[in-house]
Structure 1
Amino acid sequence: MAYAIITGASTGLGEAAALKLVEEGIKLISVSRRESQKLKEKSLSANVSYSHFSCDLSSSDETISVFGQIAEQVLDQEKDIVYLINNAGVVEPIETVGNLDFHDIISSIQVNLTAPIMITNLFLEKAKDSEVKVNVMNITSGAGERPIQGWSIYGSTKAALNLFTKTAALEAEHGKKNFMINAFSPGIMDTNMQHTIRSSGKEAFNDLEKFLEYRDKGLLRSPEQVGSCLVKLLISGDLENGRIYYVNDLLK
């Protein structure tokens, strides 16, 4: 029996991937501040087990509480594998260093980096005495591999998430054998995050015109296309532990 948990499943890539998981008949738990009605209706019509947990990932206490409940629910001997997709993320603050808001810095780091680390750590701790295989997929970004003006916080959190992924995989070689962790870079998609990016100012984000061009020239992939690619990769059973996968390589 397979189970999947995905954060940020109310819109964009998270919702698209969750819908695809339901199509594959995988039991699903979505975690976000609000529930996707489309996902709720899809799981009902497909007769696939589904539940939603409301959670503000910018709150450490709330994250620990909610995922503690989820881990207790899914990490039992009836499950063969649990897929954990750390998808939720925020691109804000889009601003140059020296003009960043302290509260925005803390919130971004919490959602993009601290929450995935805490969730992964919690699941491994709870899975120590279980035979259930845990596959973690962290959603990263090309911004974590090169500097982009205005994205110092977003890029830094994704760079750190990449290193966390590789380090946890390295540790798994000498420890728990039923643990797999990878990262997936989804490229540029037509999502609400893109709208946020395009709404930023030129002074804060020098690449603004480039992202406007992506939209105008139809260069943005749909969340459905990328979500299907992500799910296909995740359930393929052919993952290399610690590897970062790029949608541009998978959708050639």
Structure 2
Amino acid sequence: MSVFHLYILTGSSRGMGLAMAAQLLQPGQHLLCIARQPSTTLQAPPGALLEQWPLDLAQGAQAAQKLHAWLQGLAPARYASATLINNAGVMPRIAPLADCAASDDLNGIANALRVGLEAPMLLSAAFLAATEDWGLPRKLLNISSGLGRRPMAAQAPYCAAKAGLDHFSRCLALEEAAKPHGARVCALAPGVIDTDMQLQLRSASATHFPDQERFAALHHSGELTDSTSAAARVLAWLARPDFGQAAVADVRTP
């Protein structure tokens, strides 16, 4: 019977998430991707397993219930390790909060908090509960951001979601460290990456977004990391023997 390393990855349909999915598809890996739309470019090579669930993580409770049931249906003896990577995130309208009272803007704020903070908490609960007795190494990686650690005008919902993700990771790391075989937990900032979110930031109105010029300059000066390189750095951090020693970390810090 083949033994696999199990990976569950959210936000896998584009950007760094898609790049991580492609790099994880190696022989001996079983990858479950969760995103609103499945990727047509991902293909499992011989010796690897790939599943894709088209789910909206704004409906986090349903996704967590499905994940819990799916994990309970697996045979733990088939796995050497299990890892959850909460990568999905949504950026709402870039504007001061006082300018976001229209219904579409309010829904966008709620959606960003659900996808960026609520869903990771719910999926983490499902993952940890279902694998509690598997008796194998488990890791939980939350993809954070420097914006969770540095305030930025016109980005309060996104900053708040990432700051919440950081502190959630700290709390969860304490809980798991108290267990004999607890999961290792880390909220990791992946650096400044050339993604659709970066395009949104540098294309925003400078009137509403005071930091627009700085983000435009990052792109102009070539300081953005491409998605493939960023994914490789994140996965290298995940593979470190000291992963989880710091509950909150940054790939740019050794």
TM-score by length of 2: 0.90
Secondary structure of the corresponding residue to residue 249 of structure 1: coil
Q: Deviations over 1:32-77 (max 9, x none)?
A: 011122223xx24x54211111110011343234323442345623
Give the distance between the partners of 1:77 and 1:142, measured in 2 at CA: 38
Give the distance between the partners of 1:193 and 1:25, measured in 2 at CA: 33
Give the distance between the partners of 1:176 and 1:150, measured in 2 at CA: 43
Counterpart position of 1:93: 93
Q: How does 1:1-252 map to 2 (within 5 A)?
A: 1-23=4-26, 25-40=28-43, 43-44=44-45, 46-74=46-74, 76-100=76-100, 101-175=105-179, 177-250=181-254
Secondary structure of the corresponding residue to residue 77 of structure 1: helix
Closer, same or farther: CA 174–75 of 1 in aligned 2, 3 Å: farther
**% identity of equivalent residues:** 27
Question: Cα distance, 1:24 vs. partner?
Answer: 6.6
Asked whether the 8 Å contact 1:132–1:178 carries over to 2, the reply is no
Q: Which amino acid aligns with 2:20?
A: A
Asked whether the 8 Å contact 2:7–2:29 carries over to 1, the reply is yes
Question: Cα distance, 1:17 vs. partner?
Answer: 1.1
TM-score by length of 1: 0.91
Give the distance between the partners of 2:221 and 2:70, measured in 1 at CA: 42
Q: Deviations over 1:196-249 (max 9, x none)?
A: 222322222111111111111111101111101111221233313452221212
Deviates more, 1:238-247 or 1:68-77: 68-77
Asked whether the 8 Å contact 1:89–1:112 carries over to 2, the reply is yes
Asked whether the 8 Å contact 2:65–2:126 carries over to 1, the reply is no
Question: Cα distance, 1:193 vs. partner?
Answer: 1.3
Give the distance between the partners of 1:230 and 1:25, measured in 2 at CA: 20
Unmatched runs of 5 consecutive residues or more in structure 1: none
Give the distance between the partners of 1:126 and 1:228, measured in 2 at CA: 28
Deviates more, 1:212-221 or 1:196-205: 196-205
Secondary structure of the corresponding residue to residue 6 of structure 1: strand
Equivalences, count: 247
Question: Cα distance, 1:167 vs. partner?
Answer: 0.6
Question: Cα distance, 1:149 vs. partner?
Answer: 0.7
Give the distance between the partners of 1:73 and 1:200, measured in 2 at CA: 46
Asked whether the 8 Å contact 1:189–1:223 carries over to 2, the reply is yes
Q: Report the aligned-residue RMSD.
A: 1.8
Give the distance between the partners of 1:178 and 1:66, measured in 2 at CA: 22
Asked whether the 8 Å contact 1:8–1:89 carries over to 2, the reply is yes
Give the distance between the partners of 1:140 and 1:225, measured in 2 at CA: 17
Closer, same or farther: CA 178–81 of 1 in aligned 2, 3 Å: farther
Question: Cα distance, 1:114 vs. partner?
Answer: 0.1
